[in-house]
Amino acid sequence: MTPKKKKGSGKDQGRRRTSASSAEPSSVVGHRTSASSVEPSSSKRPKLGVTIAGIAMKNPVMTASGTFGYGTEFTRFFDLNALGAIIVKTVTMHSRQGNPPPRIVETPGGMLNSIGLQNVGIDAFLRHKLPFFRSLTTPLLVNIAGKSLEEFATLSKRLTDVEGVAGIELNISCPNVAGGLDFGTDPALTYEVVRAVRQATSLPVIPKLSPNVADITVIARAAADAGADALSLINTIVGMAIDVRTRRPKLPGATGGLSGPAIRPIAVRMVWEVARTVKLPLIGIGGIMTGDDAIEFFLAGASAVQVGTASFLDPLASVKVLAGVEAYLTRHGFDAVTPLIGTALPPHRETE
């Protein structure tokens, strides 16, 4: 019932190359290209469970860091136990006020944000925010950001062997703080930070990759080589909006991170590229608003997804995405989500 409590389970030597599925190895399970309206063979509900980086999840839908507060903001809207995993706002060594307002600018199909990692700091997080998650059956991944290798390592150590923490997501891709992007845009630094964390903790380590690079597969490979257990991608894309009346940038820091459905094609492309490069399970993030959006990521090679900005528009977005995923699987005759992973067919060619 509560797999997250059993911290040791599935965490043997083989953990670092954990397959995406707990039920079956991630071999290519036949292309079930039930093209058009195949009626569900039975009314049996598909199995939604996945195991990512050794963490057993009820389903492949998580909440993206920075879009789900500390979880409690959502309890008035739905039962958080419905989620596959929860990832909370980035935690840093010390509390941070974040950036001055305005922090959000709307763009067509998306938004730019420049929150600046406002958070309570690791001490207050462990004391005040973490206890709530112990009451849930849904595992918690803690997203951390350090200013140095040492900070990343220290934060990881602080979270190790703490009840209620199932894994660590590394924010090496925040565009809104000084140096926030460095660890995620230089493959040598990516390798170093992932290795530092890998050596500091026994918890599953999941770097969150930045799209603000020429070739994301280089960064992905560096993270994999350094011992990452899975990869989350993508974080926001650096963007900018200018107020034509005042002729000034709309955000005080000029630039911000673009999120929302506007970036989804970029995210799908990057998941697809990385899936062909590294063997690690991938967690797809970027503008997922519906179940079909999530399916796109599974087809591209993601083993799970995170719902982010959509939760701002509708606090129920994550559970609606989950319902949509289940409906798709049922409609197309899949008995689980895992057979779908990475099975996007080759592009259609006119002459064949």
Partner 1 sequence: MHAEVDSLRRLHADYYLQRFTSPRLVFEPGQFIMVKPSGCLDPFLPRAYSILRVQRPGRQATGGKTVVEILYKVIGKGTTALSQLKRGDRVDFLGPLGNGYRIPHSLTTALLVAGGIGVPPVVALAERLARSQFTIHGSRRGKTGHRSSVIGRLKMVAFVGGKTRHDVLCVADLRKAGATVHVATEDGSVGHRGLVTDLLESFLRSSDNGARTSASGSAELTVEASVEPSSVFACGPHPMLHAVARIAKRFEIPCQVSVEAEMGCGFGACMGCVIPTKQSAVSSQPSAEDRIADSGQPTAYKLCCKDGPVFDAQEIAW
57, 153, 174, 310: the catalytic one is 174
Task: Establish if 249 lies at the interface with partner 1 (CB under 8 A).
Answer: no
**Interaction residues for partner 1, span 120-139 (CB under 8 A):** 120-121, 123-124
Binding region for partner 1 (CB under 8 A) out of 42-50, 91-99, 150-158, 322-330 = 91-99
Pair 68, 92: CB distance under 8 Å: no
Using the rule CB under 8 A, which residue among 20, 115, 153, 174 binds partner 1? 115
Binding region for partner 1 (CB under 8 A) out of 49-57, 106-114, 157-165, 193-201 = 106-114
**Interaction residues for partner 1, span 2-31 (CB under 8 A):** none
**Interaction residues for partner 1, span 262-321 (CB under 8 A):** 311-316
3 or 110: CB nearest partner 1: 110
User: What's the CA gap between 18 and 168, in Å, rounded?
Assistant: 16
Using the rule CB under 8 A, which residue among 111, 194, 234, 278 binds partner 1? 111
Using the rule CB under 8 A, which residue among 79, 106, 161, 163 binds partner 1? 106
Task: Establish if 73 lies at the interface with partner 1 (CB under 8 A).
Answer: yes
**Residue bearing tokens 């953990």:** 15
Residue 248 annotated as catalytic: no
Task: Establish if 101 lies at the interface with partner 1 (CB under 8 A).
Answer: yes
Residues that bind partner 1 (CB under 8 A): 66-69, 73-74, 89, 94-98, 100-104, 106-111, 113, 115, 118, 120-121, 123-124, 252, 260-261, 311-316
Q: Which residues are catalytic?
A: 174
